Amino acid sequence: MTLPVVIDRSPDPEVLDGAGPGEPSIAARVRDMGPARTGAVLLILGTLLAIVWANASHETYESFWSTRLTVGVADLSLEFTLHALVNDALMAIFFFTVGLEVRREFAIGELTSMSRAVVPVVAAACGLLVPSLLYALVARGSGWESAWGVVISTDTAFLVGGLALVGPRASGRLRTFLLALAVADDIGALTIIALVYSDDVTLLPLLVAVVGLVLIWFTRYVPSGRGPIYATLAIIVWFAFLASGVHPTLAGVAVALMVPVYRPSRTEVEHALTLARTFRQSPTSEYARAAANSLRESISVNERLQSAYSPYVAYVILPLFALANAGVQISPAVLGAAVRSPVAWGIVVGLVVGKLIGVLVPTTVMRRMGLDLGPGLTQARLAGGAALCGVGFTLSLFIVDLAIDDPVVQNEARVGVLAASVLAFLLATVIFRTTERRARDPEVGQVLQRPVDPTRDHVYGPVDAPLTLVEYGDFQCGFCLKTAGTIQDVVGELGGRLRYVWRHAPLVRYHPNAVAAAEASEAAALQGKFFEFERALFTDQEHQAPADILRRAEELGLDLERFEKDLTSAAVTQRVRDDMLDAEAMEITAVPTLFVNGRRHTGPHDARSLLLALEATAPAPVPVPAEPADVDDEVRA
């Protein structure tokens, strides 16, 4: 292994000492929550509009959503209300996007490996169980104990939007953890809806649905024109679910689980780029279609559908759902009934207290057992996230209609859901605000939060060397290139007394190929060639397109088939993401950022300054105890 060979060995200390010109914050990149915040605000506006409408003119609110529609031809027709259109048809699209996210997380996301999934999955399971038990305990004797499903689920839209509004500044790792938890939570909630809150199941339509799902699975092998096939089969499956007695919204989940998901292949991406260059040279409609189709096909159907439907779900379907279901009449009589209602109190206690305990306690226990949750995921932030999980708005209102058929009790339950969601949000806000203000550690960002681990990190030099230099960098950053030459001089000076560690902090806004380069280096590391690949990347920073990445791998003698497979693996993606989240937790806003013997280096990046810093902060040698004198020596003395 050799360190990068570079030409320029004189880094500019004025630039390297701070952020590079225009370099974006990693925190700003990792937690781009604008769409989530907007969706949450629209959901709140839909809720407020429903409440105002229902109280200003309850008759028109009820009559509007009870409007009956008939769709069909001759004797083949389907009749439903506007309320049913929203809850049974449009919400199927919402559940479809939930299913897409579940499928993605298990295929290439946070739930691909058991070691990463165990904490959020266990927390989600306890977050289903504890609220249900508390609801059943509080609502005992009311006759509506079976409505425990109202308190089981966390509203993912509010969870992400709420975290964007009131969460801590560097919340990337907390957001990742809560999203994985929310996905596992959704799986449990959807399973309960299917098993507990569906009508008597009719076998024949269900068999039709199964056949439709199998055909959807095989549609991936159709060479072209798959869109109309997917749409037709999805409609058939929805109608089959409706006829079978299983709630039709679950058809959306079932269809989503059949849709393929994969990371883009470097070969396919390069083929798309080649066609795009051909179109630029010969701008004809034929080349335009070929380039567009190739680029589209390089991205999995799952991710294309998520991109297409998520805005409609966030900006249209969920606000409409809130408008159709949150129309609670608020009057002294209604509020008085809700205050006396064990159902409403069961919902409030289940969501606010149950979710907090159910998520926080098992997470704390597993953390104390030694399971690593990563830097930045503190106990206080876990508490705030657990409290935020008590916002069960969307699915809670959805299950109210399934579990309770008495309009009076439904109204009390909706009051409980709204009250619980507000209280959970306020509790999370208080926890985040007080703990972040109180627990602000001046050492955050000054101390390396993830200790060097030779089994995980890329270490150049003896793993037990007394001096340590850790760099968070970007393979396309010119400043990192300059610092590489300086580090090479430092290594030459200190020899076996120094271990050098590279970690990833790609600045994707200005370096579009930086993440791909980082993932490629990790794929090379799986074949024992990390530093060789690092040198190749630094040698030619201007050429890091997919073809260049594959060419370098071939030049280094890597197994190309294995290399390409590793490039699309979840393990490689998560390894780079972990470094990025660590950088965010330490408030790294520019690269290169160096840690000298575990502390952040704030001085110049020239070789002399680094050598002085390494020697000045070197750990004191451990005194070796003198061995006991030999008996014969004592006798001779």
Q: Which pLDDT tens digit goes with each residue over 465-518?
A: 999 999 999 999 989 999 999 999 999 999 889 999 999 999 888 888 889 899
Q: How far apart are CA 102 and CA 256, in angstroms?
A: 9
Shared-domain flag, residues 467 and 583: yes
Q: How far apart are CA 483 and CA 582, in angstroms?
A: 21
Q: Give 596's strand partners.
A: 469, 599
Our count of domains for the chain comes to 3
**Average pLDDT, stretch 270-295?**
76
Q: Is residue 197 part of a domain?
A: no
DSSP 5: P
Q: Is residue 342 part of a domain?
A: yes
CATH number for 535: 3.40.30.10
Shared-domain flag, residues 527 and 610: yes
| Predicted confidence band of residue 36 (pLDDT cuts 50, 70, 90) | low
Q: Give 469's strand partners.
A: 500, 596
Q: Is residue 111 part of a domain?
A: no
Q: What is the pLDDT of residue 21?
A: 33
| Predicted confidence band of residue 439 (pLDDT cuts 50, 70, 90) | low
Shared-domain flag, residues 473 and 587: yes
Q: What is the pLDDT of residue 415?
A: 93
Q: How far apart are CA 27 and CA 161, in angstroms?
A: 17
Shared-domain flag, residues 402 and 465: no
H/E element holding 399? helix 393-403
Task: Say if CB 109 and CB 570 are below 8 A apart.
Answer: yes
Shared-domain flag, residues 461 and 581: yes
Shared-domain flag, residues 57 and 128: yes
**Average pLDDT, stretch 542-551?**
84
| Predicted confidence band of residue 75 (pLDDT cuts 50, 70, 90) | low
Q: Is residue 94 part of a domain?
A: no
Shared-domain flag, residues 370 and 385: yes
Shared-domain flag, residues 293 and 329: no
Q: What is the pLDDT of residue 620?
A: 67
Q: Is residue 318 part of a domain?
A: no
**Average pLDDT, stretch 518-538?**
94
Q: Is residue 191 part of a domain?
A: no
Shared-domain flag, residues 416 and 461: no
Q: What is the pTM of this model?
A: 0.77
**Average pLDDT, stretch 441-458?**
86
H/E element holding 600? strand 599-600
Task: Say if CB 557 and CB 145 are below 8 A apart.
Answer: no
Shared-domain flag, residues 418 and 553: no
The pair of structure tokens assigned to 92 is 């199927």
**Under DSSP, is residue 585 helix (H, G, I), strand (E, B) or coil?**
helix
H/E element holding 208? helix 203-218
Task: Say if CB 329 and CB 54 are below 8 A apart.
Answer: yes
β-bridge pairing 458-460 and 467-473: unpaired
Q: What is the extent of the structural domain holding 505?
A: 13-24+448-616
Q: Is residue 255 part of a domain?
A: no
Task: Say if CB 497 and CB 529 are below 8 A apart.
Answer: no
Shared-domain flag, residues 349 and 407: yes
Q: What is the pLDDT of residue 76?
A: 64
Is residue 412 over pLDDT 50?
A: yes
CATH number for 433: 1.20.1530.10
Q: Is residue 598 part of a domain?
A: yes
Shared-domain flag, residues 457 and 433: no
pLDDT, mean over the chain? 84
Is residue 363 over pLDDT 60?
A: yes
